[in-house]
Structure 1
Amino acid sequence: MKLKAFLTALTVGTALSAVALSSAPAFAAGKMTVSSPQDPGSWDPIDTFLVNWASVATNIYDGLVYRGPDLKIVPALATSWEELDEGKRIRFHLRENVKFHNGEPFNAEAVKFTFERLLGDEGAKGPQRSNYVAIEKIEVIDDKTVDFHLKDTDPVLMTKLAGYGAMIVPPKYIQEKGDDFFNANPVGTGPFKVTSYKPKVGIQMEAFADHWGGAPKLSELEYRFITEPSTAVAELQAGRVDLVIPPTIPIGMIPTIEADPNLAIVTTAGPTVYSLRYNTRDGITADERVRKALILGVDRDTIIKSILGGQAEPIASLQGALSFGYDAAMKPLPYDPEGAKKLLAEAGVKPGAAVQIDIRGNDATFNEVVQAVSSYLQIIGINATIKPYETNVLLNDIIPQGKTGAMFQQSWGGWTFDYDNTAYSMYHAGEKWNPYDNDAKMNELLESQRAITDRAKREVILKEIANYAADRALEMPLYNLKAIYGINKRVKNFVPAPDSRLRLTEVSVD
């Protein structure tokens, strides 16, 4: 009962902090302002893996194909495509009369430049290259036709071509201005053109009238980088922000937003899963028994109900039900504190043993969750210290360099909705998100499914990977959170994207 009261207090205690608010400026006609929790730091498609990048840059860039909120792949800069040579070559037919924001023409050479840059030395500096290594070379057939020659099968390649590193960039502009300039002054073919970027502050855009799909309904679009959730919600309430995107809004603030007649909460099923991953190399969590004990010691169902307000589903692996490879037969380990204590004793872990949990400092909801996790762990004799980091520091330094504590937050969007995108990044040796583990069996399973185009056969292997990761207790799976948006009702025709990759061409404002 004591713990339950603590959890209830955590929920009730979430309150909007006092924020100094200046008088709200009048909105320009047709302008929409969006609150995003993070400045990605670079607008180059090959430099990033961040959902917060995609929520902005989906409006700046186009890929050969596009995947919208319905998760269907449709033509974009390519009007059609076909597989040749038994799937070893894909021919794309390109859209005509398309221009980049600087007036540079889009053509087959731009496609070739984009992917040779991605797969070359510049791409090697960023996190996106490994997603496209199935591509061997790009062949220009003519100005509007290009062939992708594949050295390996990649059953998720078409989805990958709809986002992140595959966004088409302007060759002449980059060659003349250089990569560093491009990072802060992006140019694409998308529906909005960047007019101003102030690091850590925001990015402003205007409608690109010459967009191949027609000019967007908005005349201006601004993203403000507001890291503090309470500030973002206060700005929404004050009318200076029209939309707050995931994962900003703490669950405890939902009633506050819903009580405002000018505001609404919009949710949709999403890909984002939350876990506490383990340092499998050092300390007590190098022991599989300890890792399982920590899972058994945390009542995740109560956390979902009491802290998350039912806005999430429990998970047994690092994926949600929309993910290809999801195994509905897998069940999360039950809450079993006595079983946890027994495993800890078998592993020689004495009461009072300490663990450090590293988290993103600006994630208010997850901060509450991990406080509850810490309380549960104390019950089984583990003293957990929570260490918050600035998000970019945690993601770009602490985790990739293997400098975490025993446990660390891993929030993963899995934007392809294919378990490969998550599992390969998390579990294959040498990957950025796997600084500790090298498992020959896991490596083999991950590599084998990438060579299979038969969906049914691939699905079997993906489920095996999920079960094997669970058997080894590579993380404490927590929950699959819904995508939660806070919106001003003056915004019309907004469709929430499960993966926060917002294409705001049809949105308008009163």
Structure 2
Amino acid sequence: MYKASLKAMLLSGSFALALPALASTLTVSSPQDPGSWDPVDTFLVNWSSVATNIYDGLTYRAPDLTLQPGLATSWEQLDEGSRIRFHLRENVTFHNGESFNAESVKFTFDRLMGEEGKKGPQRSNYAAIQSVEVIDPLTVDFHLNAPDPVLLTKLAGYGAMIVPPNYIKENGEEFFNTHPVGTGPFKFETYEPKVRIDLSAYENHWGGAPKLDHLNYRFISEPSTAVAELQSGRVDLVIPPTIPIGMISTIEDDPKLDVVTTASPTVFALRFNTRDGITKDERVRKALIYGVDRQAIIDSILGGQAAQISSFQSNISFGNDPDMAPLPYDPNKAMQLLKEAGVKPGTKLQIDIRGNDATFSEVAQAVASYLQIVGINATIKPYETNVLLNDIIPSGKTGAMFQQKWGGWTLDYDNTAYFMYHTGEKWNPYDSDSALDEMLESQRSITDMSKREEILQSIARYTADRALEMPLYSQDAIFGISKKVKDFTPVPDNRLRLNEVYVD
């Protein structure tokens, strides 16, 4: 009888209902552990690739780049733009069971604009916020020092992610760095620094439960290792900027895998130390730009997965001037300027790069070869990424040139230019230019987008005239993915929200 009943259950399909569903897990290879999961602590894209699934903002920018409601269902600008009222979503809870409400929003921004936020790189991005006022449990007013035309987009990411007041007060800041809690579709499970962070589905998410049961990230800095893990099936998705151009064919030739690419706001440059050495001289900086054939590097090393840039922004950035041409490759002009500046042939120069970026390492080697042609002996010094970003660059300890990669995630040049060029900013350890500071500050208070665009384009031309960096290229976002992964949508800014993805 038992065998007969079992056979009947199998035939009817009712036996399947009696078994627990198989757990669905997506494992992602990320090239960098940001070191802290607190939203106020970092600007790293690899932080956001993970944390976009842990946290929510008041607004949300979808993969098609449209701005949509997040924890705020609606908002309106009042008092000629000096105040924004947000109406908050009901019945939302943090992963620890704490209720989300207007007090959570006020706590988040008081913290961001206070002493804790002062320790990190985020606060100045939200400097337009003077205060947050609780109107009722589901309504808050943002009082602004000045209108900020990009603020609603900024509220969709990074430092603006809403955090739980009671949890942080009870456990402390250090604990929160490594045990994050948000309202997002996935909740924190375990974190092993520099190795992995594991998340699980938050069934009570206001947008519905994710299709995945588990979302795990492994920090794999070596591209060949990440691709090998993808081929073996131990990783399902490899996110940018891991995959070198030269390994695309390796993935494409595997019948189990796909390569997915999309246009990206991410730009690459070699920035100059304008304070010390030969690059203190503007003529030398321009000479170095003239001396490198950037288009040839794009064609030979990047396989067409990039576009040359004339300023430190991509062609999808608001503020980009399509009529602005890069300095051409002109080695004779380069040698003439170097001679005028008194730079002797054989002069040494150091280029600092991220040691885990195989593709850019090739680019840097090509740059060094071009510079040798015009009489500059360039050496390349690789650093562990976190060391370069958190110590060497902010402390002003770089060589004459240093790699700078920037996501420009707001798709607005302000988000790049202010942090690269304004006096005293973390990413600007060398330069101080009052005229440039004035331009950067002036555009932030203008809501007329055509006027803002004019100023941003003027900033791009001004920085190019001063040759503050060697603009190189904007590179496509390249994802390696298992064909078992379904409903995956690549996003330009790499802020992957994976609640709709599943594994077949």
| TM-score normalised by length of structure 1 | 0.94
Deviations 1:301-354 (A, max 9, x none): 110001000100000000011100000001111111111001100110010001
2-structure distance, mates of 1:32, 1:451: 43
- Cα distance in 1, alignment partners of residues 56 and 400 from structure 2: 40
Query: 74, 98, 119: which one pairs with 2:68?
Result: 74
Match of 2:280 among 269, 280, 286: 286
User: Which of 374, 377, 397 is residue 403 of structure 1 equivalent to?
Assistant: 397
1:90 to 55, 70, 84: 84
Q: Which amino acid aligns with 2:271?
A: R
What's the CA shift string for 1:145-182, capped at 9, x where partnerless?
01000012211100100000000000000000000000
1:414 corresponds to 2:419: no
CA offset digits 1:21-46 (Å, max 9, x no partner): xxxxxxx7310000000000000000
Provide the C-alpha distance between the structure 1 equivalents of 2:417 and 2:189, rounded to a whole number of angstroms: 38
Show CA shifts across 1:100-127 (max 9, x none). Answer: 0000000000000000000000100011
Match of 1:194? Answer: 188
AA matched with 2:349: V
CA–CA distance in 2 between the matches of 1:257 and 1:143?
51
User: Quick check: 1:344 aligned with 2:320?
Assistant: no
Distance 2:197 2:432 in 1: 40
Distance in 1 (CA, whole Å) between partners of 2:321 and 2:140 is: 38
Aligned ranges for residues 231-310 of structure 1 at < 5 Å? 231-310=225-304
1:41-80 residue pairs with structure 2 within 5 A? 41-80=35-74
Residue from 20, 23, 40 that aligns with 1:29: 23
Q: Which of 421, 430, 438 is the aligned partner of 1:436? A: 430
- Provide the residue aligned with 1:475 in structure 2: 469
SS in 1 for 2:100: coil
Equivalent-residue separation in structure 1 for 2:286 and 2:23 (angstroms): 56
What pairs with 1:92-107 in structure 2 (closer than 5 Å)?
A: 92-107=86-101
| Distance in structure 2 (CA, Å) of the matches to 1:87 and 1:404 | 41
Q: Is 1:116 matched up with 2:146?
A: no
The one-character-per-residue Cα deviations of 1:447-485 (angstroms, maximum 9, x if unpaired) are 110110000000000000000000000000000000000
1:20 maps to which residue? none
Instruction: Quote how far apart the aligned CAs of 1:441 are.
Output: 1.0
Give 1:275 deviation, angstroms.
0.3
Note the C-alpha offset of 1:133: 1.1
1:327 equivalent in alignment to 2:321: yes
Per the TM alignment, residue 498 of structure 1 is displaced from its structure 2 partner at its CA by 0.5
RMSD: 0.8
Provide, for residues 172-223 of structure 1, a one-character-per-residue CA deviation record: whole Å limited to 9, x for no partner. 0000000000000000000001111111110101100000000010111000
2: distance between equivalents of 1:329 and 1:97? 50
Identity score, percent = 75
Q: Given the alignment, which residue of 156, 171, 176 partners 1:177?
A: 171
Match for residue 15 of structure 1?
Answer: none
| 2:481 alignment counterpart | 487
Name the residue aligned to 1:389: 383
Paired residue for 1:126, among 120, 129, 154? 120
* Cα drift, residue 71 of structure 1: 1.1
Q: Counterpart of 2:454 in 1: which secondary structure?
A: helix
Query: 1:362-390: per-residue Cα shift (whole Å, max 9, x none)?
Result: 00000000000000000000000100000
- Are residue 447 (structure 1) and residue 478 (structure 2) matched? no
Partner of 1:168: 162
**Alignment of 1:496 onto 2:490:** yes
Structure 2 SS opposite 1:66: strand
- Name the counterpart of 1:426: 420
| Length, aligned pairs only | 484
- Once residues 87 and 299 of structure 1 are traced to their aligned partners in structure 2, the CA distance between those partners, rounded to angstroms, is 46
Deviation at 1:72, TM superposition (A): 1.0
Distance 1:398 1:293 in 2: 25
SS in 2 for 1:485: strand
The DSSP-based 3-state class of the residue aligned with 1:426 is helix
Q: Choose which of 143, 147, 153 in structure 1 pairs with 2:141.
A: 147
Matched AA of 1:302: A
1:221 alignment partner in structure 2 = 215
Question: Which structure is larger by alpha-carbon Rg, 1 or 2?
Answer: 2
Q: Distance in 2 between matches of 1:355 and 1:420?
A: 31
Cα separation, 2, equivalents of 1:441 and 1:86: 28
| Cα-to-partner distance string for 1:391-422 (whole Å, 9 max, x where unaligned) | 01100110001100000000000110000000
Output the amino acid matched with 1:328: P
* Whole-angstrom distance in 1 between the partners of 2:224 and 2:215: 22
The two structures have a TM-score, normalised by structure 2, of 0.95
Structure 1, gaps ≥5 residues long: 1-27
Secondary structure in structure 2 of the residue aligned to 1:86: helix
Find out whether 1:378 has 2:372 as its counterpart.
yes
**d(CA) in 1 for partners of 2:324 and 2:431?**
23
| Letter of the 1:362 counterpart | N
Would you identify which runs of 4 or more consecutive aligned residues in structure 1 move more than 4 Å? none
Letter in 2 for 1:63: G
Counterpart pick for 1:40 among 28, 34, 37 = 34
